[in-house]
Amino acid sequence: MERVMQVLRGLRKRLLFYYLVITLLMGITSLYSYYSARTIISGFSAIFADYLYLNDLYSDVSSLETNVEKYLATRSSEAILEYYNLSSRLQEKSAKLAGERGYDKNSLMLKDIGNMIQSLLDEADAAVNAKRGRISSQYLAHFTESHKVAGYIKQYINELLYNKLQEGSQKYDVIRGNMNVISFINIFIILGSMGLNVFLAVYFTYKMTGPIIELSSSAERISSGDFDVDPVLIETDDEVRVLAEAFNKMAVSIKNYIDKIKGQAEMEKRLQEQEMQNLMMKNLLKDARLKFLQSQINPHFLFNTLNAASQLALMEGAEKTAVFIEKVANLFRYNLKRLDRPVTLRDEIEHVRTYLYILKTRFGDKVQFTLDIDESLLELEVPSTIVQPLVENAFIHGIEGLERNGRIDIKVKKQSDYIAVVIEDDGQGMEESAIRSILNSEVTEDRIERHVSGIGLHNVINRMMLFYNVNRVSDVIEIYSRKNSGTRVILKIPLAKGGKNA
């Protein structure tokens, strides 16, 4: 047994040495190729970054001009909303450009563009305000002036693009020359590594497998029932020779005890088959557990990635973006909580605040929110994720489809025998038949799939009834609505003896 272990250790050392050499060569080749590719990509990125920035700036100025003109002509709410978004974006760019520190020609032109953008925004705002005040002579004059300033900005941007094109052409020539050299070196390294790998593979394969093939041939004859094999003679002075000597002794022992082994082999075969079945069952169980874990990893990866993006945005000075990403990560983190574990009403309200922040960031003045919360009621335990789906439902089915702006009011107050969480909107409203279908659990799949948490009204109602051990839907929720006049949903948190907050 000790000799066999020595043989195995010797073979293992050889194999490890071979694989380490191959891995090292492949690693060096891969790292060099990766470094070369990164160098080339960074060079091209530097060329295109300025082009993209200037093109985006040109596009924003054109879009601003178009939306101002559209609003002045039609008083379109969509145009004015897009105008304010573009105005905010250009305001930030203007401040950044005006603070440009360089004093070369391009930097000075960028400063001028920043100042002209501010002038453009002032004239555009004046035109919009005059339009709202119905002072036609003023808004036409301001619009004409803003159009003239936009023309100067575009002219400066085109000139900058031409300058950047000239600089980019020179950089491209340098990068192309470097790329040719790098490509030649990469080809040389790859071909050299392939040749050396092939040589090492052939050498170690024949050196290690030659004696083993002879041993395997004798072993194959024994396995087929021919025990009259000649002793295997190995001339090498290494561990394989020890293995050959042990093999010869084994052949003799097998021949002497063949009859006894046949009976034992049959029994052993049955045991091995049973073990194989058990192993297959264990592997299936491990695979099922792995898939279950994988199904939980992706959401964690998502909000961990969002947290990393938030930190990166803070490092780069984009504080609003960082806060927005952090709120989205918090929303996903809260939604990953197990639904069978209760939370406090305070947790639910904070979750709603996070969701409202995201809605406000995405849709601006499209929807307004008011919160009237009795802080003394927020320490009660409630099922997880029951309030946010109702607020989201109010926005999706009440406010989102409106051409006008909407409002959602959220209140938490105490009634005689329950805590009322009221979500009220002034949106599209519902027919009485739709309310009955909701309260009777007749909810279609598409109404659920649109929720960010995947939890719809039906799910909230069922979990509330189970959590508080009640049999009537009216004990946990009430819905009042009129078509085109809004909807009022009252979520009831029981305080009676049967409830969990008793």
Residue range 350-402, pLDDT digits in tens: 999 988 988 888 888 889 999 999 999 999 999 888 899 899 999 988 998 88
pLDDT band at 279, cuts 50/70/90?
Answer: low
pTM, entire model:
0.40
Question: What whole-number distance in Å separates Cα of residue 23 and Cα of residue 18?
Answer: 9
Tens digits of residue pLDDT in 82-91: 888 888 888 8
pLDDT band at 419, cuts 50/70/90?
Answer: very high
Residue 291 has what pLDDT? 40
pLDDT band at 421, cuts 50/70/90?
Answer: very high
Q: What is the mean pLDDT of the chain?
A: 76
Q: Which tokens sit at 501?
A: 């907050």
Cα 218 to Cα 11, 233, 260, distances in angstroms: 20, 11, 22
- Residue 272 or residue 418, greater confidence: 418
Name residue, tokens 């049967």: 498
Cβ contacts of 397-400, under 8 Å, gap ≥ 24 = 397/427, 397/428, 397/430, 397/447, 398/425, 398/426, 398/427, 398/428, 398/429, 398/486, 398/487, 399/366, 399/367, 399/425, 399/427
Choose the most confident range, by mean pLDDT, from 9-18, 298-307, 398-407.
Answer: 398-407
Asked whether residue 117 carries a pLDDT value surpassing 60, the answer given is: yes
Q: Which tokens sit at 160?
A: 């900058």
Tens digits of residue pLDDT in 302-329: 555 566 666 666 676 777 676 777 767 6
Strand residue runs (E) in 73-117: none
Residue 295 has what pLDDT? 42
Tens digits of residue pLDDT in 98-107: 776 677 777 7
Tens digits of residue pLDDT in 192-215: 878 877 887 777 676 666 667 777
Tens digits of residue pLDDT in 36-59: 667 666 666 766 777 788 888 888
Asked whether residue 161 carries a pLDDT value surpassing 50, the answer given is: yes
Residue 455 has what pLDDT? 64
Question: What whole-number distance in Å separates Cα of residue 137 and Cα of residue 256?
Answer: 118
Contacts of 86 (CB under 8 A, 6+ apart): 60, 63, 64, 67
Residue 199 has what pLDDT? 81
Cα 93 to Cα 54, 84, 102, 159, distances in angstroms: 11, 14, 16, 18
103 backbone dihedrals φ, ψ, rounded to 5°: -125, 15
Residue 487 has what pLDDT? 94
Out of 5-9, 38-42, 113-117, 474-478, least confident range = 5-9
Mean pLDDT over 236-264 rounds to: 70
Provide the percentage of residues in the chain whose pLDDT is more than 70. Answer: 70
Out of 148-157, 252-261, 361-370, 400-409, least confident range = 252-261
Question: What whole-number distance in Å separates Cα of residue 453 and Cα of residue 385?
Answer: 8
